[in-house]
């Protein structure tokens, strides 16, 4: 995560979503785009506010977390959103995204 996206980098240590974004930032943007192309779903409404967020491909693409609580949910759930210029934003459940990033980051 770039320094412009966080006030204090030490604050990221306790935020698992920020840690996943840091790990995702090291992956090729094409891998992330393929991941969201396969498992991501378009949003039903307006684009939510993302926090934390990383900017990829010179700022043309944003990847970040948002929370959403459906009427049937007891608590809000984390989702990750892929916003690429000229394309519809795609959302993916947080646990699925975190597991995929971990698998793509493994050294073989």
CA pair distance 4, 70, nearest whole angstrom: 31
Alpha helices in 1-108 (DSSP H): 16-25, 29-39, 94-105
| 57 dihedral zone (left: phi>0; alpha: psi -120 to 50; beta) | left
Structure tokens, 76: 């809000």
Number of domains in the chain: 1
Query: In which domain, by residue range, is 49 found?
Result: 3-105
pLDDT of residue 12: 54
**What is the separation, in whole angstroms, between the first and last Cα of the chain?**
24
Q: Provide block-wise average pLDDT over 10 residues at a time, the chain (108 residues).
A: 42 79 94 96 91 91 94 94 94 96 88
CA pair distance 73, 69, nearest whole angstrom: 6
pLDDT of residue 108: 66
pLDDT of residue 2: 44
Q: Which residues contact residue 87 at a Cβ distance below 8 angstroms, ignoring those fewer than 6 apart?
A: none
pLDDT of residue 67: 94
pTM of the model: 0.83
pLDDT of residue 104: 94
């Amino acid at each position: 995560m770039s320094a412009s996206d966080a006030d204090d980098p030490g604050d990221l240590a306790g935020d698992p979503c920020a840690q996943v974004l840091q790990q995702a930032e090291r992956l090729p943007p094409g891998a992330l785009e393929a991941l969201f192309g396969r498992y991501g779903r378009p949003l039903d409404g307006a684009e939510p506010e993302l926090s934390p967020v990383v900017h990829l491909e010179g700022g043309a693409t944003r990847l970040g977390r948002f929370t959403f609580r459906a009427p049937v949910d007891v608590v809000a759930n984390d989702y990750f959103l892929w916003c690429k210029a000229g394309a519809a934003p795609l959302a993916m459940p947080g646990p699925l995204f975190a597991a995929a990033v971990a698998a793509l980051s493994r050294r073989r």
